[in-house]
Amino acid sequence: MSAVLVDDAPAVPGHIAHGLEGEIAEVCGLLNATTARLVELIARVLATGAWMGAGIHSAEQWVAWQCGVSPRRARALVAMANRLPELPSTATAFTAGELSEDQVRVVCRHTQPHNDAEVAELARHATVTQLQRTLRDHRPSPDPEPVDADGQPPPPEPRRLTFGYDDDNSWSLHLTAPTDEGALIERALTDARQDLFAAADDDEARHQITWLDALLLICERSLDGTAHVRPRRDRYLTLLHLRHHPVSDPVAHLHGGPALPDSLRRYLTCDGLLRPVHEVGGVPVNVGRTQRTVPDRTRTVIEDRDRGCRIPGCTRHRFLHIHHITHWEDGGPTDTDNLIALCPRHHRQHHQGVLGITGNADDPHGIAFTDHRGRPLLGAGRPTPPTDPPAEAAQRLHITPGRYTHPTGERLDTRWISFSDPPSR
């Protein structure tokens, strides 16, 4: 395999390169202005609560579903929609197409309102990497006020951990934590890495030790330390007494607790651990072996088939329940075509009657989902392709893009950058 170096590439006439760069600048301006319009619409959705509905966890889930974007980008779009009203200069440059989505995302994350105009001007000339480094390191975030203007406590510090498989089949983990908790995690990783260094045979082996190796060591220690403990599901087992009547629906109550509503009874018996109590003449005589409503082998098949909650737009793929489409207590079989993977929230919503599920689960397109009004839930938002050229389509959508000027790419010396202090109170 041979590689072509840039210096060895054939020279492109200057007018052709200039023409291509100009067209790219126009397209980028249109793309930026269009994204700004999308963020503006998302802000209206947030303000009106239009995203709320059965089966929707959050505004971010709704945006990912309707816009056909990844959960990570949906979070970024919602964050920009929440912040841009506080940053009018940045919003104006974004609407004009002068700033890209990634530039605006960084500005929204790190900029205080009183620095809006200064940062917006800097962003016009800085790359995304330069913006990240400059805004992140220039000044620490101020301490939150004990209460806001409405007397409400401030929002909690960002605290999130997500993990799973990416598009390239690699497994990734993303962690956001308060500073003190992050320092604790870093200390644990450092200690584990030092243990690996001490146990290494030579310098070459030490050079190959990574932070991932340290994390794996922590995980192995945790698993080894709990291997002798009972399974977690048994330690937190909730007992449910279920009594069947020949002429009416079953009646269930928690052990030592009250009777349960029908929806909760169906929810708990749909996918749980059953420990039958055999009675003769109303007198318990024997306790049978604990068994799952859905056997483990069948559960494995359903989890591998569905790869996550089947509700349209839901991104949950861990700690799933296996639901009987025709309810178990109504005689629904525990067969794959009658079983579907649901996250706990959607499973509960279905049994509360606000989420309809019908069809054959073995057919990839054989399940029909409806909300509490009976309206169908489609698999994803369906974009309407433009029938006009981009410029005409933008004009019809009231998008007036400006020409995007790319960052200079020159070295940025942050020592010569300063922002104004917040106004005195």
pLDDT at residue number 156: 65
Would residue 397 count as lying in a domain?
no
Whether the CB-CB separation of 420 and 114 falls below 8 Å is answered with yes
Same domain, 222 and 324: no
pLDDT band at 40 (very low <50, low <70, confident <90, very high): very high
Please give the average per-residue pLDDT across 306-329, as a whole number: 84
pLDDT at residue number 41: 92
Same domain, 253 and 333: no
Please give the average per-residue pLDDT across 259-283, as a whole number: 69
Residue 228 has pLDDT above 60, yes or no: no
Distance CA 241, CA 60 (A): 39
Same domain, 258 and 317: no
Same domain, 243 and 311: no
Would residue 305 count as lying in a domain?
yes
pLDDT band at 31 (very low <50, low <70, confident <90, very high): confident
Whether the CB-CB separation of 238 and 254 falls below 8 Å is answered with yes
Question: CB neighbours of 368 closer than 8 A, spacing ≥ 6?
Answer: 356, 357, 358, 359, 376
| CA distance readout (Å), 420 to 117, 118, 363, 423 | 10, 8, 61, 9
Domain span at residue 276 reads: 239-287
Per the model's pLDDT, the better-predicted residue between 11 and 73 turns out to be 73
Whether the model clears a pTM of 0.85, i.e. scores above it, the answer is no
Question: CB neighbours of 199 closer than 8 A, spacing ≥ 6?
Answer: none
Per the model's pLDDT, the better-predicted residue between 309 and 226 turns out to be 309
Q: What is the DSSP letter of 95?
A: H
Would residue 405 count as lying in a domain?
no
Same domain, 302 and 320: yes
pLDDT band at 372 (very low <50, low <70, confident <90, very high): confident
pLDDT at residue number 313: 76
Whether the CB-CB separation of 124 and 405 falls below 8 Å is answered with yes
pLDDT, one tens digit per residue, over 50-104 is 888 767 778 898 888 888 888 889 999 999 999 999 999 999 999 888 888 999 9
pLDDT band at 271 (very low <50, low <70, confident <90, very high): confident
pLDDT band at 39 (very low <50, low <70, confident <90, very high): very high
Per the model's pLDDT, the better-predicted residue between 397 and 40 turns out to be 40
| CA distance readout (Å), 45 to 62, 182, 192, 239, 280 | 10, 34, 46, 43, 60
Would residue 392 count as lying in a domain?
no
Would residue 1 count as lying in a domain?
no
Report the percentage of the chain scoring pLDDT > 70.
72
Same domain, 203 and 263: no
Whether the CB-CB separation of 402 and 98 falls below 8 Å is answered with yes
Residue 105 has pLDDT above 90, yes or no: yes
Mapping DSSP to helix (H, G, I), strand (E, B) and coil, where does residue 369 land? strand
Long-range contacts of 74-78 (CB under 8 A, 24+ apart): 76/101, 76/105, 77/38, 77/39, 77/42, 78/42, 78/46
Most confident of 107-116, 124-133, 197-206, 246-255: 107-116
Strand 171-176 with 160-165, pairing: antiparallel
Mapping DSSP to helix (H, G, I), strand (E, B) and coil, where does residue 165 land? strand
> Looking at 201, 229, 257, which one is the last position of a domain?
229
Residue 29 has pLDDT above 70, yes or no: yes
Residue 338 has pLDDT above 90, yes or no: yes
**Residue 287, strand partner residues:** 277
pLDDT band at 247 (very low <50, low <70, confident <90, very high): low
Would residue 155 count as lying in a domain?
no
Same domain, 124 and 46: yes
Residue 107 has pLDDT above 50, yes or no: yes
**Residue 270, strand partner residues:** none
pLDDT, one tens digit per residue, over 108-160 is 988 889 899 999 998 888 888 888 878 876 655 555 555 445 555 555 667 88
Helix (H) or strand (E) holding 88: helix 88-95
pLDDT at residue number 5: 44
Same domain, 136 and 18: yes
pLDDT at residue number 397: 66
Distance CA 330, CA 328 (A): 5
Per the model's pLDDT, the better-predicted residue between 411 and 12 turns out to be 411
Mean pLDDT taken over the chain:
78
Q: Which of 37, 105, 33 is nearest to 67 (CA)?
A: 37
Locus of tokens 């389509």: 393
Q: What is the DSSP letter of 160?
A: E
Same domain, 219 and 245: no
Most confident of 144-153, 164-173, 296-305: 296-305
Domain count, the chain: 4
pLDDT, one tens digit per residue, over 42-56 is 999 999 988 887 677
Same domain, 22 and 135: yes
Per the model's pLDDT, the better-predicted residue between 244 and 420 turns out to be 420
Per the model's pLDDT, the better-predicted residue between 184 and 145 turns out to be 184
| CA distance readout (Å), 54 to 327, 346, 374, 382 | 20, 8, 11, 19
Locus of tokens 């010396």: 413
Same domain, 35 and 92: yes
Distance CA 31, CA 23 (A): 12
Distance CA 329, CA 268 (A): 11
Residue 277 has pLDDT above 90, yes or no: no
Report the percentage of the chain scoring pLDDT > 90.
20
Question: CB neighbours of 384 closer than 8 A, spacing ≥ 6?
Answer: none
CA dihedral for 116, 120, 126, 131, sign (positive or negative): positive
Distance CA 425, CA 408 (A): 38
Would residue 192 count as lying in a domain?
yes
Count CB-CB contacts under 10 A for residue 366. Answer: 11
Same domain, 32 and 115: yes
Question: CB neighbours of 291 closer than 8 A, spacing ≥ 6?
Answer: 273, 274, 275, 276
Whether the CB-CB separation of 31 and 99 falls below 8 Å is answered with no
Would residue 23 count as lying in a domain?
yes
Please give the average per-residue pLDDT across 319-336, as a whole number: 87
> Looking at 339, 370, 401, which one is the last position of a domain?
370
